[in-house]
Amino acid sequence: MPEFVRVADIQEIPPGTSRVLHIRGREIALFNADGMFCAVKNTCPHRGTSLDRGAVEDGIVTCPGHGWQFDLRTGDSVDHPPAGIRCYRVEIRQGWAWVEVP
Ligand code: FES
């Protein structure tokens, strides 16, 4: 059953940065996209590069591998549909980020 897990103090993840989370066997990247916190599977569907090191602009992460882009709000590929990345729900509660995982 999915449940929210407290993962990070949001003060420790400034805008434009991310943090890698390991939760229940999953590797998840939690991004602060200019104040919007988004959690996605930390694996590019192209060739598996970790997305947490990708640049983020306007809610779009660019894979550092070969430049594919994904919308962090939906997981949709911007430039290579139907490829996409899994998104996880995020809630901010009293300064902490919580991520919903199965
Ligand atoms: S591994 Fe991400 S674009 Fe190639």
Q: Output the six-digit token pair for 83.
A: 């490829």
Domain boundaries along the sequence of the chain: 3-101
67 CA: nearest ligand 1 atom:
3
**Ligand 1: which of 42, 44, 70 to mutate, judged by most atoms within 8 Å of the beta carbon?**
44
Q: Which CATH superfamily is domain 3-101 in?
A: Rieske [2Fe-2S] iron-sulphur domain (2.102.10.10)
Mean pLDDT over residues 78-94, rounded? 97
pLDDT of residue 72: 98
The structure's pTM equals 0.95
Place of tokens 């882009």: 69
Distance of alpha carbon 19 from alpha carbon 66, whole angstroms: 21
For 21-71, the pLDDT digits (tens) are: 999 999 999 999 999 999 999 999 999 999 999 999 999 999 999 999 999
Q: Residue 49 CA to chain centroid, in angstroms?
A: 13
